[in-house]
């Protein structure tokens, strides 16, 4: 070893001792030419998830402390962390007959999406919100919420939260509420819908929070009708669908037209039988759940057949597309509001999205 090499070795040892780290050895890792996510494309099959949630229902009580019988998707690329992507948390939650998930609130924003079943009410800041097949239900950060199941049948749904983002930014607070939900009535329509779910009409009430939708429930009848209309209009020769055979809607805040939550975007897509979507790659990560139908997700180099209930993670900058075998209905959520508000968006359709 030359004298210089020996002095360099000491320099690196001194850096480590002093908790310092030289950029020149790490630039490629810290600043790749394009995003290289640690998260990997992955599919969780509903046929595997649901029986495990059912088993947890038999064996694990739900109550104060544990709070929720929710089983999170742990992306195989994220070293065992209970995170679906670097920003998004996703889980299957299961509530048995006559069970209650106690009230609490947290900074993390949350939603539920129901792939099947009904019979649970989620009580959001005292407003009982029925949960039914195809509905998107919101719980914005710091709203008290608990769930109860008076239906006599178990129910499962998916939860999506910005837990990883709040974790990495050290911005989370949490508070317990009552162990029993405050309002156990079971109205078919929440107070938030009675105020806010009239198309094109905003009530003349105070609503100062512009980052969070005041509407707690987006009902399947409306989503389904909007998608059907897009495809019908296309058939009639009018502009409507996104691309031929592919209809899409974004769930929006009726007060602003913006995203439903400050950190999470939610969408629903319908792809006709035999149609393949335009390949894309986007900055930021996304999770899909198959609501109905069968098809194949191409994620980078890999192909994944999917069926009802399956959950698919598309990491940042992964080229992907979907092909529908029969008509394919897809719910999706992403961290796009974070990416867009911070000016980091570089979404690309077609160009750059090379797929085999
Ligand atoms: C939560 O409150 C729910 O309300 C679901 O259903 C998952 C994960 C971590 C912390 C709070 C819910 C959660 C959660």
> Hey, which residues does 349 pair with through a beta bridge?
280
Nearest partner of 285 among 76, 85, 118, 133, judged by Cα: 85
Q: Looking at residue 108, what DSSP letter applies?
A: S
Q: What per-residue confidence (pLDDT) applies to 65?
A: 87
What pTM does this model have? Answer: 0.95
Is 334 within 8 Å of 96 (Cβ atoms)? no
Top mutation candidate among 70, 107, 166, 178 for ligand 1, by most atoms within 8 Å of CB: 70
Q: What per-residue confidence (pLDDT) applies to 206?
A: 83
pLDDT band at 353 (very low <50, low <70, confident <90, very high): low
pLDDT band at 95 (very low <50, low <70, confident <90, very high): very high
CA of 162 to the centre of ligand 1 (A): 11
Mean pLDDT, rounded, for 42-59: 98
CA of 68 to the centre of ligand 1 (A): 6
Residue closest via CA to ligand 1's atom 12 equals 68
Is 146 within 8 Å of 103 (Cβ atoms)? yes
Residue indicated by tokens 């989620």 = 122
List pLDDT tens digits, range 153-172. 999 999 999 999 999 999 99
- What mean pLDDT, rounded, does the chain reach? 95
For residue 285, pLDDT beyond 90: yes
Quick one: what percent of the chain has pLDDT higher than 70? 97
Lowest mean pLDDT among 144-153, 234-243, 259-268, 285-294: 234-243
- Does the Cβ of 145 fall within 6 Å of ligand 1? yes
For residue 48, pLDDT beyond 80: yes
Tokens of 159: 């939860």
- Shortest-distance atom of ligand 1 to CA 146: 4
Lowest mean pLDDT among 205-214, 229-238, 293-302: 205-214
**Helix or strand run (H / E) with residue 47:** helix 46-59
Mean pLDDT, rounded, for 66-73: 96
Top mutation candidate among 159, 167, 333 for ligand 1, by most atoms within 8 Å of CB: 159
Mean pLDDT, rounded, for 22-27: 92
Residue closest via CA to ligand 1's atom 3 equals 68
Quick one: what percent of the chain has pLDDT higher than 90? 90
Q: State the virtual CA torsion across 291, 293, 295, 300 in degrees, nearest 10.
A: -10
Residue closest via CA to ligand 1's atom 6 equals 68
List pLDDT tens digits, range 233-253. 999 999 888 899 999 999 999
Is 145 within 8 Å of 183 (Cβ atoms)? no
CA of 12 to the centre of ligand 1 (A): 44
Delineate the domains of the chain, giving CATH numbers in brackets. 35-178+187-195+214-354 (2.60.120.10)
- Does the Cβ of 159 fall within 6 Å of ligand 1? yes
Mean pLDDT, rounded, for 289-307: 97
- Does the Cβ of 71 fall within 6 Å of ligand 1? no
pLDDT band at 179 (very low <50, low <70, confident <90, very high): confident
């Amino acid at each position: 070893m030359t004298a210089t090499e020996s002095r360099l070795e000491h320099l690196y040892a001194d850096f480590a001792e002093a908790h310092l780290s030289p950029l020149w050895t790490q630039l490629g890792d810290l600043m790749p030419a394009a995003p290289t996510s640690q998260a990997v494309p992955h599919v969780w099959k509903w046929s595997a998830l649901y029986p495990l949630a059912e088993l947890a229902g038999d064996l694990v009580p739900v109550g104060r402390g544990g709070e929720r019988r929710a089983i999170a998707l742990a992306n195989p690329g994220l070293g065992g962390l209970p995170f679906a992507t670097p920003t998004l948390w996703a889980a299957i939650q299961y509530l048995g007959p006559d069970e209650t998930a106690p009230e609490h609130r947290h900074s993390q924003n949350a939603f539920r999406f129901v792939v099947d079943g009904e019979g649970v009410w989620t009580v959001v800041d005292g407003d009982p919100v029925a949960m039914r097949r195809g509905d998107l239900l919101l719980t914005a950060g710091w709203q008290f919420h608990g769930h109860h199941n008076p239906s006599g049948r178990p129910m499962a749904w998916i939860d999506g939260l910005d837990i990883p983002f709040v974790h990495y930014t050290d911005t989370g607070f949490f508070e317990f509420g009552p162990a029993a939900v405050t309002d156990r009535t079971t109205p078919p329509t929440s107070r938030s819908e009675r105020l806010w779910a009239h198309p094109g009409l905003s009530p003349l009430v105070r609503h100062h929070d512009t980052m969070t939708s005041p509407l707690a429930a987006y009902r399947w009848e409306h989503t389904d009708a909007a998608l059907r209309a897009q495809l019908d209009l296309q058939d009639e020769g009018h502009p409507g669908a996104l691309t031929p055979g592919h209809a899409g809607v974004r769930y929006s805040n009726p007060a602003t037209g913006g995203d439903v939550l400050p950190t999470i975007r939610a969408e629903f897509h319908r792809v006709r039988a035999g149609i393949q979507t335009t390949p894309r790659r986007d900055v930021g990560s996304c999770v899909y759940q198959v609501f109905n139908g069968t098809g194949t997700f191409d994620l980078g180099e890999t192909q994944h057949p999917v069926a009802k209930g399956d959950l698919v993670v598309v990491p940042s900058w992964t080229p992907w597309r979907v092909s529908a075998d029969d008509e394919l209905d897809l719910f999706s959520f992403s961290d796009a509001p974070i990416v867009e508000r911070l000016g980091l968006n570089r979404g690309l359709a077609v160009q750059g999205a090379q797929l085999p």
